[in-house]
A and B are shown apart, each in its own frame.
Chain A
């Protein structure tokens, strides 16, 4: 082990150095490929990188790509799956000049990536046929740069919805909560000591952002953290109180679960707020847990939820931009998106596709689709990663009762802003 650690220190710097070397090698390789291309026929190979999904999702993507290759026989797609530390790998490869032509980009990471200028603006490629107005507007906005250009087209999204255990609700004789106050009351009744908690909480900014802003406060203002605002504290206090005063809420690791979906599936929480990804997971892993979904309860009569979206973006240094665009436009076009979202693992970002597939009438997914128009997209400027990290750290400690929430958030805000200023 000792040796390994020493190697890490060396490895860190070697990686840097190595990436420089890799950069030189990369250019040669692409040049060679081009020569080959000229001598043969106009066969192009486009690389597409993304993270892996469950086997079903992989199959769907394969199917979509097969369709694409059928339509454009001269373009071959090389699909690369980066299974872990996706952004680290992508950044390193882009630095080394070995970046894929087309890759996935989470909206959360988008502003910082757009700022560095490694992404190709896509406006000039768009044709009328592509029908850009068909996309859900907030999701498309997430990939607009400060220059107003579009750098990526969202491939799918998910919002959050309330997942509730039907059996527990029936036993307690409760209705599905419509407001946050109702949820709090229901959670109290559903809690059975430390065996079953009424409500499973993910104490993370990514999941709490819309709640934090529900009373008029702002988490981020002008790319700086402002979540110590009393209005934000007031909005988040009920969640902390649910754990500390009501003892009706817990985070997944308190009951030995890895995340909310697992906690809910193991029947250790009667309610959780999760996204589309939890539906296939629960159906496959916990077929005995009967559950329903509903829209996230309202706060002060206002609806709110989060939306997470991922886009296909193009590498600015790509040598095959025309082919890369053809791939993006097919994958995010009506035809490709319909295949990709046909099984409901992901929700379509195009209104026409959503209408055609009828998810707004699906028993489990209707609540998620209904959230799209009023959802807050999980993204806010280039400094959100720093802000998130500091928020999460201190919020957990307040959630566990180590310090008052207002104090925790003040501390987190100060540290975050100091870090931002030093940048």
Chain B
């Protein structure tokens, strides 16, 4: 079984892998283990680091933390709206751009542009447009629609971030869909046409089922990305999660506990750990519900 040759081969392989393994250990696995270690301790880093083992105290504290509940609720609301919307939008955009229109390439580029912008810059530009006297309100007013104080009103602040994120993330998934669309054999559509299918039938009975594995991928990536919403709400609220906790997300709360208040690093790690479990669960549920798993 373990001949010399095999040992030698394995040795060579691991030698070649060692730089990658080292980096992985140092920057991925190490920090993860350290974060787990932290989550079971009360940590005070400033002024002579102290680690006091507290068992599951940090985790039971989450259950009693009103702001953690608000953050989780905001995040779930955000995920529940953003993921389906951006997935559908991406699919529709991709389908229209694949229909063989004139100037298709140009529109592909234009649609993809939002994704290329850094999210920090994007947020600042959007905040400018969301200003009480900004572009968005002017457009709404022009069409006779009600205007909002997007930045200051707790009831719309999170929606403002949702709109911005859908706008910027959908094109990214559109590109993935676009690649998959090119893969659908024309023969399927021809066969459908022979059976008397119209454009809508073709889309619904050929395109959508064929794209299922890609949709699965897009939804999972979307779930992970949206659960980790941080930068936009951080910039939007200046780090506070306001107004009235409306833009407080779980990751923003983790940040606040880790860096803003002293001595709660352990609790922040516990929250991060809990968030990882929530994401894991959401992903698992998604996979459970989508039957097509073989291709992904």
Measured between C-beta atoms, what is the minimum distance from A192 to chain B in Å?
Answer: 16
Chain A residues, Cβ within 8 Å of B221: 2
Q: Per a CB cutoff under 8 Å, which of B31, B154, B256, B272 touches A14?
A: B31
Q: List residues of chain B with CB within 8 A of the CB of A9.
A: 228, 251, 272
Complex Cα–Cα for A9 and B265 (A): 14
| A282 at the binding interface (Cβ < 8 Å) | no
**Closest chain B residue to A397, Cβ basis:** B244
Contact A17 to B242, CB < 8 A, known contacts A255-B133, A419-B65: no
Interface residue from B49, B231, B240, B263 paired with A392 (Cβ < 8 Å): B240
Tell me whether A253 is interfacial, beta carbon within 8 Å. Answer: yes
Let me know if A290 is at the binding interface, CB within 8 A: no
Shortest C-beta distance, B71 to chain A (Å), equals 12
- B155 proximity list for chain A (CB < 8 A): 402
Contacts A1-B169, A91-B46, A396-B242 given: A13-B34 contact, CB under 8 Å? yes
User: A329 contacts which chain B residues (CB < 8 A)?
Assistant: none
Q: Which of B145-153, B178-186, B206-214, B287-295 contacts A (4 or more CB under 8 A)?
A: B145-153
Q: Complex: how many Å from CA A17 to CA B34?
A: 8
A394 pairs with B132, CB closer than 8 A: no
A116 adjacent to B240 (CB under 8 Å):
no
Known interface pairs A12-B258, A12-B272. Does A1 touch B225 (Cβ–Cβ under 8 Å)?
Answer: yes
* CA–CA, A9 and B279, complex, Å: 13
- Given A91-B46, A118-B46, also A392-B224 (CB < 8 A): no
B interface size (C-beta, 8 A): 63
> Is A50 close to B, CB under 8 A?
no
What's the Cα separation between A415 and B70 when bound, in Å?
11
Binary per-residue interface labels of chain B (65-90) against chain A in the complex, 1 for a CB within 8 Å, 0 otherwise: 11100000000000000000000000
Chain A minimum-CB-distance residue to B244: A397
Contacts of B93 in A (CB 8 A): none
In this complex, the interface size class of chain A, counting residues with CB under 8 Å from chain B, is 35 or more
A13 and B32 form a contact (CB under 8 A): yes
Q: How far is the CB of B61 from chain A (nearest CB, A)?
A: 5
Q: Which of B147-193 contact A (CB under 8 A)?
A: 149, 151-155, 168-169, 172
Q: For residue B267, which residues in chain A have a CB less than 8 angstroms away from its CB?
A: 422
Q: If A116-B262, A423-B264 touch, does A402 touch B45 (CB 8 Å cutoff)?
A: no
B98 at the interface (CB under 8 A from A): no
A71 at the B interface (CB under 8 A): no
- Considering the complex, which residues of chain B in the window 238-271 have a beta carbon less than 8 Å from any beta carbon of chain A? 240-245, 251, 254-256, 258-265, 267, 269
Which single residue of chain A is at the shortest CB-CB distance from B57? A422
Q: Who on chain A is nearest to B230 by CB? A: A8
- Given known contacts A113-B46, A117-B48, what 14 new A-B pairs fall within 8 Å (CB)? A5-B225, A6-B224, A8-B230, A16-B34, A91-B259, A91-B262, A116-B47, A251-B152, A397-B243, A400-B153, A400-B154, A402-B155, A415-B67, A422-B64
The 4 closest A-B pairs by CB, nearest first: A13-B31, A116-B47, A256-B132, A253-B152
